[in-house]
Each structure stands twice: as C-alpha cells, then as structure tokens.
C-alpha cells in the first residue's frame, strides 16, 4: 500500500467519488480519500490521499484554491451549471469593462455565501443534492468564505471568463450567479477548471491512467500536504521524545503548529508549540528513545 498523495487531474464527467473508486481498484486499497469535492462536470486538481496519508486530509481541505471559470449570462439553471434545467432567463444589459471591474471588486474579501442545494453538504444525514433531486429545498446557513483574487481574463456580451483565488467552502457556481445578479441579469457556470488546491497545482497533476500505470512515480510524499506549515527541525533526542508523546522544550520556538522534521529531513508528523514546549498532534514516524 502506498502512503502518499496523488495530485489527480480529474476529467469532466466523473464525480469525485468515481475517482476514489477508480484508485481503490488501481491501487488495491480501501484507505483512500480526497481533499475537496470537485463538481462532476468540472476538471482539474483533486488531491487524493492513500494509506496513512489520509490522516492529513484536513490540511488539504484547509488549503487555498484557484479556479478558471466561465459564466454565461442571461440564463440560470437549477444546478448552477449548464448540466441543469434552465429555471430563469433574463436580458443581459450592456456593460463596459469599467462597470464589470467595479462589480468584481465588490466580491473581493471576506463575505457570506449561501451553499447551493446541489452540493454535497449534509443536513440531518442527507446530502443536499439528494434532496434537490427529489424537488425538496431546505434552509441552509450562510457560510464564511473569502475571495483573495478575482481577475477578469475575457468577456463578451454574454460571457465572463475569470481567474479566482478563494478559501475553502467557496462555491464558484454561486459566485458566478451572484456576479450575474450584480450586473442586473442572471447567470450560470458553463466551464470550471480547478488549477490549484493548497500546494498541488495543475502543472504537476497526473491523469488516472498515468497513476494506474506507475503509482509509485506519481505519488507525492505526505509532507506536501502541510507545505503551508512552518518546519521545525528536531535533534535526535527531541525527535525521540516528541514522537513518543513526551512534551519537550525546544528553546526559541514560537507558538503555533509545525511540520516536524528529523535532523536528516525525514517527516515525523505535526506538532504544536506552546511556551517553547512542543507536543505531537499526529505522528507518522516514531523514533526510538535513548536507553
């Protein structure tokens, strides 16, 4: 079994669960999980964790995400993308690039967003999209999101192409609908490509066929999931004590969470420092205590 992370180039037409099922068969293991659902019609980066690396899934979900998205104006569907049924049509007012840029500026920063019914969020044990398919709509809570960048790449009388950098939990379909509303019309997502999740980028991704052919060559080390954390290099004695559950003084270390490394660079796990004392949160390699 490979304990690693696969930066999968998800093709359109597959659900994230389909990708997991494929890799379970290809890698002959059940211990597989993905770092953030990607819409079935969307393509792009989907980090998949296998073996003991699944213990780091929470860090992939926390990572910043980047997308390329096209929004078609003048129509809105029940799913928020062009796979759904059209539920609203409106004329598209003429707008200038200046007007459009001003509207986009209003969507930068921290904000609240209402999750769509066609999403994998669970309410009372049921996924929202399962309820939506039955024609049931339930009340959802607004969620805190943040849009770090919203760049206009191209536009026509009826389409917008945008580059988006955003926080976890951001629904690009909803963002597109809200931008269209701010322009005085309605809209739906007609293309979505995820180009980055945390440290995993589109340029370094692999197709499912490439992974099946040579999984070892395609697997990233577990430490890549915590590339955003500062690294703390431990002495042999500190490494042995901390990985065996002993809170240990590491003088001069600031408070916070760290990726713990041995003196030779080996990834040991995740630890938290408080008052210059480090305690392990997750241990991947346990070092022997001195006798």
**Active site members:** 39
**Edge-to-edge order in the sheet of strand 277-283:** 231-233, 256-261, 267-274, 277-283, 248-249
Q: Report the C-alpha gap between 291 and 289 in whole angstroms.
A: 6
Please measure the distance between the N-terminal and C-terminal CA atoms of the chain and give it in whole angstroms.
33
Which residues sit opposite 88 in a β-bridge?
Answer: 76
Using DSSP's 3-state secondary structure scheme, residue 16 falls into helix
Using DSSP's 3-state secondary structure scheme, residue 32 falls into strand
**Sequence-ordered strand ranges (E) for the chain:** 4-10, 32-34, 43-50, 65-73, 75-77, 86-89, 109-113, 122-123, 126-127, 143-155, 159-166, 187-197, 200-201, 219-220, 231-233, 248-249, 256-261, 267-274, 277-283
DSSP string, 173-230: HHHHHHHHHHTTS-EEEEEEEEEEETTEEGGG-B-HHHHHH-HHHHEEPGGGGGTTSP
- Extract the tokens encoding 71: 């929004």
State the pairing for strand pair 231-233/256-261.
parallel
């Amino acid at each position: 079994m490979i304990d690693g992370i696969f930066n999968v180039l998800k093709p359109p037409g597959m659900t994230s669960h389909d990708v997991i099922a494929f890799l379970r068969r290809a890698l002959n293991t059940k211990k597989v999980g993905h770092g953030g659902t990607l819409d079935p019609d969307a393509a792009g980066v989907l980090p998949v964790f296998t073996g003991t690396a699944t213990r780091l899934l929470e860090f992939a979900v926390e990572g910043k995400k980047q997308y390329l998205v096209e929004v078609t104006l003048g129509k809105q569907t029940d799913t928020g993308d062009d796979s759904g049924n059209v539920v609203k049509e409106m004329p598209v007012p003429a707008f200038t690039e200046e007007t459009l840029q001003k509207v986009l500026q209003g969507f930068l920063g921290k904000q609240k967003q209402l999750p769509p019914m066609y999403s994998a969020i669970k309410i009372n044990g049921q996924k929202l999209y399962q309820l939506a398919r039955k024609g049931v709509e339930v009340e959802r809570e607004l969620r805190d999101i943040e849009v770090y960048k919203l760049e206009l790449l191209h536009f026509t009388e009826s389409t917008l192409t945008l580059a988006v950098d955003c926080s976890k939990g951001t629904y690009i379909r909803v963002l597109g609908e809200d931008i269209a509303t701010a322009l005085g019309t309605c809209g739906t997502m007609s293309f979505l490509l995820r180009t980055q999740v945390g440290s995993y980028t589109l340029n370094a991704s692999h197709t499912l066929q490439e992974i099946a052919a040579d999984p070892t060559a395609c697997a990233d080390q577990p430490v890549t999931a915590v590339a955003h954390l500062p690294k703390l290099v431990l002495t042999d004695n500190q490494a042995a004590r901390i990985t065996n559950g002993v809170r240990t003084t590491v003088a001069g270390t600031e408070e916070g969470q760290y990726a713990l490394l041995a003196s030779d660079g080996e990834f040991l796990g995740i630890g938290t420092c408080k008052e210059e004392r480090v305690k392990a949160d997750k241990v991947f390699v346990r070092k022997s205590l001195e006798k």
